[in-house]
Structure 1
Amino acid sequence: MIRNMCENVFFFCFFFQKRGITRPEEKYKYNSLTRTLSRLWERIRHCNEELIHLLNHVILELATYHKVSEIHFENLKWSRHSRKSKAGKYLAFCQTHWFFSQVQEAVKLQTFLHRIRFKRVNAAYTSKTCSECDEHGRVSGKFFTCDNTKDHRGGRVIELQSDLNAARNIALA
């Protein structure tokens, strides 16, 4: 729905720049679309703020319940806004609405207030490194496999979902 409205607004912008606004009903339709579009983006922004608040609350409740002294997060500096020529139009558009780094900033502020350390961890190769033996394993699709049985507990081959393996590596960093 938002994409269609954006396309309509861009169409009318192009149309009016090329031809100029001649009829009042065209101007009314354009203004109506831009108002509706801005309301929808405001709703999305409000939903993002609510999600940030809820995630922040849950993360800190879990940390205080388990008496955690340090919280680790994946380093998301790549997600900050950069110029369109560097990142491409799609990525630049997504970056303006990216809220994961906002979640991190909110958690960082609350950890400071609760005297919990906050650490950003480089996420390079976290899904390809075994969380038990620190050796490089194989990633096929969404699954990670480590065949180094001599360093594993129980001497077994480890097969995990690669995101879970990456989360364990970030937590252990």
Structure 2
Amino acid sequence: MGPDKLKILKEFDLSAVFQSKTRAEQIRALWNQFYKLYLLMQDKTTTKETFCHESQAWLDAFLAPSTGHPNKNNFVRGMYRIQDVTPYIHVLVNHVGEFLEIHQEFGLAAFSCSAVEKKNHMQVCLYFQNTLKDGGHENSRKSAILEMLEHENRQLYFALNETPNFFEAPKKFRLE
């Protein structure tokens, strides 16, 4: 957590993980660039243009294609595919520069993704616990997304109308 992540980001020996020394060096360079972005986000003097330039350079390194012929000695494996770009990477490259410019007095430390992460957790739990996962009888089959939206709508209805959305447990009596 916290500072320990930074320690791993800066000091972890990737040659212990990757058999190829070249691959370990590629990943280390990518991590070093990411650490530079992290420091730029912390610096209140960072301009939008500087951050956008550096984040785009990091994305280009992240998406570096393979070079050379796969069956020859000159082959250098690429990094990642465009499909590997996550929503967090998209925000980092395309929006954090704007955030730095607009909210310079607060800094990015004032923002948190915990609400988004919590919503994601709730959706995953709902999917696995309360849906048929796109299954069920073929005549009454609903998509899991529709089931989840209906569940959320019911929860909102209950909350707005102060209707309890639970049943009281039956009381048990023990006769002796």
Aligning the two structures, in what range does the TM-score lie when normalised by the shorter sequence? under 0.3
TM-score, scaled to structure 1: 0.24
Q: Of the two structures, which has the highest relative contact order with CA contacts closer than 8 Å and spacing of 6 or more?
A: 1
Higher share of residues assigned strand: 1
TM-score, scaled to structure 2: 0.24
